[in-house]
Structure 1
Amino acid sequence: MISTMNEQNIKLSVLDFVHVYKYSNPIESLQNTTEVVKLADQLGYTRYWFTEHHNTTSQISTSPDLLSLHAASQSRHIRVGSGGIMLPNHSPLKVVENFTLLEALHPGRVDLGLGRASGTDGLTATALQGSRDDFSVQLNNLLSFFSRSFPEEHPYRRIKPSGGLSLIPELYMLGSSQGGVHYAIERGLGFAFAAHLAPKLAVPTLRAYRKNFVPSSYLKEPKSILTIAVITAEIDEEAQYLSGPLELMWARMATGSIDISFPTVEEAASHVYSHEEERAREYNRDRFVIGSIENVAKRLRGIAKEAWVDEIMVADFYPEQAARLKALELLAKEFGLNRKRGAK
């Protein structure tokens, strides 16, 4: 298969972790997210997804469904959803009910991205009391609830979720390895790959998805998204300064540090990297796209073309709200997002 993606028509989306910055609080973080959602909607971004993480004081993205409801109520055009719902933590039926309700409230604007991991540590996963079923069973149950297609002998066939077949959101599998992609291929779902988690696997996995996709009642043609951390500004030096907290946090995570909170730009700028941290920092280079808007746009277009995708989802690791908003504006202008929306 040869890529037919047009690098000039790349769509941009946002993945929000709802970071709680140092010396801030969850209320302010959610206010920041509301501001970003409104701006992304105005600028012409395609979708706005929320992650699911637990047992951390530096993020408050514990409930993507609730955050999606809030985001949808604060916007008019942008699609909202989960990046993703970590299915092992949930009842498939309850996920179907919640996202059916979201789709009914905001028709044609809801995405359900599904992950195979728990998004947390083992103890917290146990405390969440999610399903004990194998992921394949969970996914089959979820899709059968949506499509009302349980086999005659299945006990769940008697359960009729509220709504109907017209209230199914767009469905995506998430992946950061070669595991999740097989579910997307075989079940005919959209696919989003987290390149910031596994940069070397992104291109071959996304190409394999498009080569082998099997159409389904959910999706007739493959639909893929590459997610990667992006830090951009008007000039390279400013972007490098703003990327300091991101690089330091990931270096600390890679070296087993107990402090994996989001550093401030001042803390990152004055930090003296240990030998191990410096090695981790160098290893992490491919996880991020950092630089001036011109250099970032060039690299994003190249990545999209190589991975056969027409949509890049920006994983948001900006250390300051003002820089976050400015970057959204720079990217929107560079990729002509408002112009594309007007042409639809």
Structure 2
Amino acid sequence: MKSSNTIKLSILDIGTIMNGKTASETMQDSISLAKLADDLGYTRYWFAEHHNTPFQVSTSPELMSAHAAANTKNIRVGSGGIMLPNHSPLRVAENFLTLEAMYPGRLDLGIGRAPGTDGLTAYALRRSREAVTSYNFPEQLNEMLGFFSKDFPSDHPYSRIIPFPGITSIPDIYMLGSSNGGVQFAIEKGLGFVFASHLAPHLAIPVLRAYKENSKPSRYASEPKSIFSTILITAETDEEAQYLAGPVELFWARLNTGNLGTTFPTLEEASRHHYTPAEAEARAQNKDKFIIGGINSVKQRLEALAEQAMVDEFMLLEYYTDQAARHKAYRLLASEFLH
């Protein structure tokens, strides 16, 4: 079992509006947590890309990354991820090279293959039915990496394009995945890799092990860099953690039964909710998507997973509806892993 002293912790923020707060208040909460994570020694703070959701404000990870970087000193910031099908590869390179120039050595670029939204919104983003219905991710990825590494063949028309003048470094680039697909791009291109275990918990360990066993050094990473991403709720005791996890369990049960609603559940709503048979079944099926428990049991669970998945870093996605409990949880984790 891996020692907690060798395990790094990072945070994935999806910008969920809680307890009827405004979008501005939600973003302020994110920056407050980023500052705390910076002070506590967390490795990175990432923002997701989601569109057309009723209570998530994480539509522009580039902008949030810039704001977080401006308000922190050491922690790495970036995207988890940029959904490349929604964007021009050149524009992604320009944005993140700009950020790298502003905050050298602190930028991460996580790349996803999914749209992060529904079909209509994808069309509104891409402005082309062909772009929505066709699959050209490999070409997009090659173009984006070409702009970063400046290694287009001399006869390629893009070889004459300068995405950002005068810069000598690029962000660390990671491929995101929740299946066997994304990891193949990470291995082939020599990129870092992050697996979203909350989307496919049964695949997390074998896919992360396959990445570690097959990856080779590249111009983008001198050694394989793998991260285990999971939903985690912790507190001082198992009982308190289970209470705090009530809203996320109810949210995912509703998500899986097609009854999402327009607001995220509160602690009070979750504690008094009577699950329908369909919701109860979904809740049981979702059990492996979460790590919920007091700090001692969570520590043991993360140490075991790190050994099994051959990783030394976890990226934590959480849904604390109480900001004080949220900060306390990250302090508890830091006291066990980041001392």
| TM class, shorter-length | over 0.9
TM superposition shift of 1:149: 1.0
In structure 1, the gaps of 5 or more residues are 340-344
TM superposition shift of 1:319: 1.3
Tell me, in whole angstroms, the C-alpha distance in 2 between the residues paired with 1:148 and 1:232: 44
Given the alignment, which residue of 105, 109, 114 partners 1:112?
109
Report the counterpart of residue 212 of structure 1 in structure 2.
Answer: 214
Q: Deviations over 1:194-222 (max 9, x none)?
A: 01111000000000001111321111210
Identity of matched residues, %: 58
Q: Does 1:99 align with 2:96?
A: yes
Report the counterpart of residue 326 of structure 1 in structure 2.
Answer: 328
Work out whether residues 233 and 326 of structure 1, in 8 Å CA contact, stay in contact via their aligned partners in 2: yes
Tell me, in whole angstroms, the C-alpha distance in 1 between the residues paired with 2:169 and 2:104: 7
Q: Give 1:291-330 correspondences, 5 Å limit.
A: 291-330=293-332
Work out whether residues 10 and 43 of structure 2, in 8 Å CA contact, stay in contact via their aligned partners in 1: yes
Report the counterpart of residue 184 of structure 1 in structure 2.
Answer: 186
TM superposition shift of 1:316: 2.1
Report the counterpart of residue 342 of structure 1 in structure 2.
Answer: none
Report the counterpart of residue 62 of structure 1 in structure 2.
Answer: 59
Tell me, in whole angstroms, the C-alpha distance in 1 between the residues paired with 2:276 and 2:97: 49
> Secondary structure of 2:319's partner?
coil
TM superposition shift of 1:318: 1.1
TM superposition shift of 1:34: 1.1
TM superposition shift of 1:258: 4.1
Tell me, in whole angstroms, the C-alpha distance in 2 between the residues paired with 1:321 and 1:130: 39
Tell me, in whole angstroms, the C-alpha distance in 2 between the residues paired with 1:93 and 1:130: 17
Report the counterpart of residue 242 of structure 2 in structure 1.
Answer: 240
Given the alignment, which residue of 125, 129, 136 partners 1:128?
125
TM superposition shift of 1:21: 1.2
Work out whether residues 251 and 280 of structure 1, in 8 Å CA contact, stay in contact via their aligned partners in 2: yes
User: Structure 2 length normalisation: TM-score?
Assistant: 0.96
Count of residues in Structure 1 that have an aligned counterpart in Structure 2: 334
TM superposition shift of 1:236: 1.1
Q: Does 1:40 align with 2:37?
A: yes
Q: Deviations over 1:90-115 (max 9, x none)?
A: 11101100100111111110000000
Work out whether residues 239 and 291 of structure 1, in 8 Å CA contact, stay in contact via their aligned partners in 2: yes
> Secondary structure of 2:168's partner?
helix
The residue type equivalent to 1:50 in the other structure is F
Q: Give 1:129-168 correspondences, 5 Å limit.
A: 129=126, 132=131, 134-164=136-166, 166-168=168-170
Tell me, in whole angstroms, the C-alpha distance in 2 between the residues paired with 1:100 and 1:69: 12
Work out whether residues 146 and 165 of structure 1, in 8 Å CA contact, stay in contact via their aligned partners in 2: no
Report the counterpart of residue 255 of structure 1 in structure 2.
Answer: 257
Work out whether residues 51 and 85 of structure 1, in 8 Å CA contact, stay in contact via their aligned partners in 2: yes
The residue type equivalent to 2:172 in the other structure is E
Tell me, in whole angstroms, the C-alpha distance in 1 between the residues paired with 2:35 and 2:127: 33
TM superposition shift of 1:281: 0.4
Given the alignment, which residue of 87, 98, 107 partners 2:84?
87
In structure 2, the gaps of 5 or more residues are none
TM superposition shift of 1:156: 1.2
Q: Does 1:193 align with 2:195?
A: yes
TM superposition shift of 1:166: 2.2
TM superposition shift of 1:257: 1.3
Tell me, in whole angstroms, the C-alpha distance in 1 between the residues paired with 2:217 and 2:262: 41
The residue type equivalent to 2:214 in the other structure is N
> Secondary structure of 2:45's partner?
strand
TM superposition shift of 1:321: 0.8
Report the counterpart of residue 203 of structure 1 in structure 2.
Answer: 205
Work out whether residues 88 and 130 of structure 1, in 8 Å CA contact, stay in contact via their aligned partners in 2: no
